[in-house]
Structure 1
Amino acid sequence: MAIPSFIPYRLRTLSGEAFVIGCAAVGGALFALLDVPAAWLSGSMLLVSVLGVTMRLPDLRKPWFDSTMIMSGTLIGSSATPEALAATARYPGSLLVLLVGMIAIMLATGAYLRYVARWSWIDALLAAAPGALSTVIAVAQAKGANIGRIAVIQLFRILVLVAILPSIMKLTGDMAVVPQAAVPIASIGDAALVLGAGLVTGLIFERIGITAPFILGATLSSSILHGTGTVHGTLPPEIATVIMVMLGAAMGGRVSNLKRGEIAGLFPLAIGGFVVSLVVAFAFAWPAAWLAGVPYANAMAAFAPGGLEAMAMLAFAMGLDPLYVGAHHLTRFMILGLAMPFLVVRFKNEPPKD
């Protein structure tokens, strides 16, 4: 989107960001009118992604993204009521299945990219990693891997998951989750407390170098405040809608940073890798759902190989169990973040031999 150069830089930046956010809101509204599941998140991300392929979109600046992460973490953590925390005793078996499934996803998808696309093992495994995109990109840069094509595969998987996973879950017929009781809206004082705690914790996490500090910090502080009964209620639904639009704008806008020719050339491989990842993930989701005693739709969202932010908010939008889904994605995020540098350390960035 070209903005006249005579307009001051700050105003041009705000105009570009407003355009992206406005497009995201339009996409979410269209999906809401069509009654698409998780409309505001999937619609906003999809429309901004499509526009990002056809034109250069500005990235939302760090304050926009960080504030969105803080509010997202606050929403996710608000599900950690004392009753919900008591139910987490069912999760260990499911989390163990997750670890095995995560290895299977990386090996299966990595082997596909290694032997079908003829990629090096480093590129293949980094592209196959189910989530933790920021860590994956950091490791790829340190190892001299092909960041462009890794990012294409990773972003394609996240965007398509957000766009189609709600409909897939609905088609399984397992979306008949027991209706949840109406969640009270937090008072102004409680909302200010939990948001302020999320900001402070996020700043501390950022200072000590933790990846994705603001969503992790806000989720942790919100979970503690709600789990101890210090804070009651969640943010108003109107704010939740705004958060989903902002997240859709931020995630979808990443596509604009990719080279158009690279996207087109990697599209068939991205589809194949996505199918392999999803089939393996859903295969492991079934025993996990049985062990945890949760509907299969919850396990599908928990095992879907997407990013922590998008998948946790998707669960919230779908009326699933954010605590169950978030716990699994947080566990996978942390394990990948810690283990990824060591997993690829022995591989050289070279294609397979014929």
Structure 2
Amino acid sequence: MPVPRLPSSLWPKILLAAIIGVLSGFFARKVGMPLPWMLGPMIGCGAAALAGAPVHGPVWLRPVVIPVIGVMLGSGFHPDLADSLAEWSGTLLLLPLFLIAATSVSYGFYRYVGGYSPVDAFFSAAPGGLNEMIALGTEAGGNETRIALAHALRVFIVISAIALIFSLLLHARAARGPATWVGFTDLSPRDALILAACAIVGVVGGKRLRLPAAQLFGPGLLSAIAHISGVVAMPPPTILVIASQITIGSILGCRFAGVNPRTMGRDMLLGLGATILLLGVTVFFAALLGPLTGTPLAQGVLAFSPGGLTEMSLLALAMGRDVAYVATMHMVRIVLVVFGMPLAFRLLGKPPKAPPDT
């Protein structure tokens, strides 16, 4: 991928974000934080951005690293997956009810506690589809900055909270040891070719099929098919996965660049409150899975948590949970949100556009 012609003033900011991201990743790894290579850069760059440091995420690298993560997540699927599908039916049936409850609770909070306009409250409340909800909300006359901040906070807080809870209460730590490392030489030329094809063809095919999050869904789907069929058994090289996680974490943290806690403090507090409510709904529905399907609470929380698809799937991998189960539930969640929210918006009747000064 060619390096884009960015303004020269951005490169020092990107370099600073990269340095903070790498150092934060090493520190998070040293202290045993779950998913250290993503959470460390996310927290480090986020704190730097809120403190006013001149950081800028390498957003132009996202189309390169997301397919790598997609292929890696697909490697979590296995040939005996069919035996597990029946066990997942209860979660899949409960998922739409969870989304309705989560969206309703979040909407009510933003609308009646926060005093947001109907448009801002509606598109801020969606438990997923960050880019899509920002675009649709702005088109409907909503406050782009407010909606973007709500979703950035949701993803940031959910990932951090889930990782912290697992670390403190369940004593989960980052995987260590050489057994977890896959080097370039561990892959045969055939393996490397198949994984590369999954990434490239998956992106192209996903875009042509207009899949949500095509850069992740396409490669992830092809990789899952390849691993389920037994065509390939290896994941991508670990160094590529680590570099991808550092990039994603840095981009997530740098989303808060330019956010002034003084002027946007109220919106940030509302985002925190709404996310806490979402997590409460998540735990409630995850607890229902126990008696209904026998799914452990921890795994149910990971499956329902309204964080990013990429991030929550990676967190499941770091926690030693069923990646295929968690990734599948988040893929279904994103599809339901991306296609369901615009439909619900039309069916409920478009609220009046928000005034320009809100």
**Kept after mapping to 1: 8 A contact 2:34/2:163:** yes
Match of 1:104 in 2: 101
Match of 2:223 in 1: 222
Q: Distance between the aligned counterparts of 1:208 and 1:261, measured in 2?
A: 43
**Structural mapping, 1:146-165, within 5 Å:** 146-165=143-162
**Kept after mapping to 2: 8 A contact 1:183/1:234:** no
**Structural mapping, 1:259-274, within 5 Å:** 261-274=262-275
Q: CA deviation at 1:322?
A: 1.1
- Call closer, same or farther: CA 1:241–1:61 in 2, change over 3 Å: closer
Identity between Structure 1 and Structure 2 (%)? 25
Match of 2:24 in 1: 27
Structure 1 gap ranges (5+): 1-7, 177-181
Match of 1:122 in 2: 119
Q: Distance between the aligned counterparts of 1:164 and 1:237, measured in 2?
A: 26
**CA distances 1:329-352 after superposition (whole Å, capped 9, x unpaired):** 10010011111112222131467x
Structure 2 gap ranges (5+): 174-178
**Kept after mapping to 1: 8 A contact 2:88/2:325:** yes
Match of 2:244 in 1: 243
Q: Distance between the aligned counterparts of 1:170 and 1:51, measured in 2?
A: 24
Task: Indicate the RMSD between aligned Cα atoms, in angstroms.
Answer: 2.4
**CA distances 1:65-117 after superposition (whole Å, capped 9, x unpaired):** 01110011011100111123431221111111121111100001110111111
Confirm whether residue 143 of structure 1 aligns to residue 146 of structure 2: no
- Greater shift, 164-173 or 39-48, is seen at 164-173
Find the residue that maps to 2:264 and give its secondary structure: helix
Q: CA deviation at 1:41?
A: 1.6
**Kept after mapping to 2: 8 A contact 1:110/1:128:** yes
- TM-score normalised by the chain length of structure 2: 0.86
Match of 1:45 in 2: 42
Q: Distance between the aligned counterparts of 1:292 and 1:236, measured in 2?
A: 35
Find the residue that maps to 1:311 and give its secondary structure: helix
Match of 1:69 in 2: 66
Match of 1:187 in 2: 187
- Call closer, same or farther: CA 1:191–1:13 in 2, change over 3 Å: farther
- Greater shift, 13-22 or 100-109, is seen at 13-22
**Kept after mapping to 1: 8 A contact 2:211/2:218:** no
**Kept after mapping to 2: 8 A contact 1:122/1:344:** no
* Equivalent AA in structure 1 for residue 66 of structure 2: M
Find the residue that maps to 1:130 and give its secondary structure: coil
- Greater shift, 65-74 or 199-208, is seen at 199-208
* Equivalent AA in structure 1 for residue 55 of structure 2: L
Q: CA deviation at 1:257?
A: 5.3
Q: Distance between the aligned counterparts of 1:262 and 1:323, measured in 2?
A: 42
- Greater shift, 203-212 or 129-138, is seen at 203-212
Q: CA deviation at 1:60?
A: 1.7
> Aligned to 1:347, which of 325, 341, 350?
350
Q: Distance between the aligned counterparts of 2:92 and 2:131, measured in 1?
A: 22
> Aligned to 1:55, which of 53, 56, 62?
53
Q: Distance between the aligned counterparts of 1:196 and 1:87, measured in 2?
A: 27
Match of 2:205 in 1: 204
**CA distances 1:11-57 after superposition (whole Å, capped 9, x unpaired):** 76555433322211111111222222222221111111112221343
**Kept after mapping to 2: 8 A contact 1:175/1:297:** no
Q: How many equivalent pairs are there?
A: 338
Match of 1:4 in 2: none
Confirm whether residue 81 of structure 1 aligns to residue 78 of structure 2: yes
